[in-house]
């Protein structure tokens, strides 16, 4: 073991890792090190400029994983994950929206932790909170924002507060943008920059951990983390020791990967790859969940402004946007352009006939398909998951789908993802908030050189492997087309439109062809009882280990309703509090 030793080793300098680094290094007696595979991109304008986030999808700041071919989609799906200080909070969009848990993780405790993370800047100079992350909440100012909110009101969905925890209508979502600088506020500049000079905090970038070094004092005792092995910038393999805790915060893809490389996972897989089994837990890497989405595009009237020209990168539109952002801090460069949204139920399942149809759909599922969906998932978890989703579907007060509205063409059904149609358009992205399909992430190689790349593992999201997901998302598409056709004053700004999706089978074909995965991966190191399928306990400790924890999106056992950025900050803040209680 190296003579270099720290009290706390944090693996991953992403959203959770930097929250933990800030909070745990508040104690000057704790020596904390963060090891991050990516670079420090805190000075990169593409990272900081709000509208530039799509440019990061194929940059060195992204791991750019890919799923295995998806049987029910007929193609592979890209899996974006942040590879930089700040993790996915450095490359994602900016939306901040907020039965199977564990003790201490009720909504009250979580909400208290979440509020420690942000300062919310409301219109007219009003602020709430004193947290490091800076959030900006705009008022609906554009013609399209007002039309979206008023239109949904007209069909029975009143405006809601996106941070209230009570959803069911349209809103303008807060963005993680600092209103003073007009730049991205994320884990690196919010949580790390103010404390970089602490003498007890060390940050190493371009450093990839390949293994947690575990020892088992006895055959019956828990394993103990003694340190970590990593590959440094110069390519050499090194180790450092740990006195108290190793915390894995590498995200929903890399956290289970590192556990398996360290000997924690299904024994059959590990033995096949020549890895010594330290803890046999086949649930590691299982329960992968993500939001699937598709969308609809409507032609706008020629006399109403959209941002299509900017999205097409027409020189005059880009120059005007740069001028407006540079002089006023406003315009399409100052935002993700994705803040006009809604959390809506699906009314057709709220009637007695609708609930009966839902029960028939669930009852008609092939029981043998469970093996194809997620073999190691316990029957108890599968049943609880399905019961939870059914309760959401049938409750008029619960949001079933997340809908994002924008005044430009989106290539849902385009020849390529980069295609931008001529003319003027509005688009509605339609997201399945509570998928029942569950996938997996598992290593395919024990070679340490793969740990810093997108190779050496298999990601199988198993999208639409649960038939109800396709059924519900298709109905959401049909529902969206119907409400848009009736939502005055929105409809007055659109060109005449003929409905395409009255037939459910036609709609399903469209969804299969156009569906894609969001950036919202969770669940692969789930926090729940081990017998139910858990990987970590309610203190975030990995089952079978005394001083190894996981703290990131992978511990969330059920996909949150919408964008999980807020959830990850809340998990990290609450996790930091629990760790402090245990080690100080």
Q: Which residues participate in the annotated binding site for FAD?
A: 15-16, 209, 564-565
DSSP 3-state of 468: helix
- In the chain, the N- to C-terminal Cα span, in Å, equals 25
- φ and ψ at residue 123, rounded to 5 degrees: -60, 155
Q: Among 516, 488, 547, which residue's Cα sits nearest to residue 213?
A: 547
Residue tagged 């705009």 (tokens): 138
Output the known binding site.
15-16, 209, 564-565
Cis peptide before 530 (omega within 30 of 0): no
Q: Is 342 in contact with 169 (CB distance < 8 Å)? A: yes
Q: Is 64 in contact with 233 (CB distance < 8 Å)? A: no
Residue tagged 């469209």 (tokens): 510
Give the Cα separation of 461 and 289 in Å (integer). Answer: 7
Q: Measure CA 424 to chain center.
A: 30
- φ and ψ at residue 580, rounded to 5 degrees: -60, -45
Would you mind telling me the total number of residues written for the chain in this entry?
584
As to burial, measured by CB atoms within 10 angstroms (0-12 exposed, 13-18 middle, 19+ buried), residue 16 is buried
Q: Is 90 in contact with 104 (CB distance < 8 Å)? A: no
- φ and ψ at residue 172, rounded to 5 degrees: -105, 115
Supply 20's token pair.
């933990």
Helix boundaries (H) for 35-179: 45-48, 107-115, 143-154
Q: Is 516 in contact with 77 (CB distance < 8 Å)? A: yes
């Amino acid at each position: 073991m190296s003579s270099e030793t720290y009290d706390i080793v944090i693996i991953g300098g992403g959203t959770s890792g930097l929250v933990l680094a800030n909070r745990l290094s508040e104690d000057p007696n704790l020596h904390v090190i963060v090891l991050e595979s990516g670079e420090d991109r805190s000075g990169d304008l593409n990272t900081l400029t709000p509208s530039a986030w799509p440019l990061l999808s194929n940059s060195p700041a992204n791991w750019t994983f890919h799923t295995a071919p998806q049987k029910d989609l007929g193609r592979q799906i890209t899996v974006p994950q942040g590879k930089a200080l700040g993790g996915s909070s450095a490359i994602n969009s900016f939306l901040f929206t907020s039965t199977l848990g564990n003790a201490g993780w009720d909504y009250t405790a979580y909400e208290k932790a979440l509020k420690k993370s942000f300062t919310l800047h409301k219109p007219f100079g009003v602020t709430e909170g004193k947290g490091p992350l800076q959030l900006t909440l705009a008022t609906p100012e554009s013609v399209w924002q007002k039309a979206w909110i008023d239109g949904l009101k007209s069909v029975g969905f009143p405006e809601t507060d996106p941070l209230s925890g009570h959803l069911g209508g349209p809103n303008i979502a807060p963005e993680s943008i600092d209103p003073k600088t007009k730049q991205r506020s994320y884990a690196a500049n919010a949580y790390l920059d103010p404390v970089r000079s602490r003498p007890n905090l060390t940050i190493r970038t371009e450093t990839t951990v390949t293994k947690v070094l575990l020892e088992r004092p006895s055959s019956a005792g828990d394993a103990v983390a003694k340190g970590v092995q990593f590959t440094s910038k110069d390519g050499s393999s090194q180790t450092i020791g740990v006195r108290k805790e190793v915390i894995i915060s590498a995200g929903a893809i890399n956290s289970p990967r590192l556990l398996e490389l360290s000997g924690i996972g299904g024994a059959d897989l590990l033995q096949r790859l020549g890895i010594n089994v330290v803890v046999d837990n086949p649930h590691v890497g299982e329960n992968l969940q993500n939001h699937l989405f598709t969308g609809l595009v409507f032609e706008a009237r020629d006399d109403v402004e959209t941002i299509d020209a900017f999205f097409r990168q027409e020189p005059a539109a880009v120059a005007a946007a740069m001028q407006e952002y540079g002089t006023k801090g406003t315009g399409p460069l100052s935002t993700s352009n994705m803040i006009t949204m809604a959390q809506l139920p699906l009314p057709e399942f709220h009637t007695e006939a609708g609930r009966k149809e839902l029960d028939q759909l669930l009852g008609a599922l092939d029981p043998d398909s469970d093996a194809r969906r997620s073999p190691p998932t316990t029957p108890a978890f599968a049943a609880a998951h399905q019961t939870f989703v059914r309760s959401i579907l049938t409750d008029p007060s619960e949001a079933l789908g997340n809908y994002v509205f924008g005044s430009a063409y989106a290539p849902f059904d385009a020849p390529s993802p980069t295609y931008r149609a001529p003319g003027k358009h509005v688009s509605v992205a339609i997201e399945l908030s509570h998928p029942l399909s569950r996938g997996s992430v598992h290593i395919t190689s024990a070679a340490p050189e793969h740990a810093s790349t997108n190779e050496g593992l298999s990601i199988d999201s198993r999208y639409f492997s649960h038939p109800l997901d396709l059924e519900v998302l298709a109905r959401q598409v049909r529902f969206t087309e119907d409400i848009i056709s009736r939502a005055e004053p929105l409809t007055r700004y659109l060109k005449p439109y003929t409905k395409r999706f009255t037939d459910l089978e036609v709609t399903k074909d469209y969804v299969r062809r156009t569906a894609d995965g969001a950036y919202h991966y969770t669940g692969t190191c789930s926090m729940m009882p081990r017998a139910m399928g858990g990987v970590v306990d309610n203190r975030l400790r990995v089952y079978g280990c005394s001083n190894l924890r996981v703290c990131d999106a992978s511990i969330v056992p059920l996909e949150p309703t919408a964008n999980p950025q807020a959830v990850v900050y809340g998990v990290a803040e609450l996790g930091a509090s629990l760790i402090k209680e245990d080690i100080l």
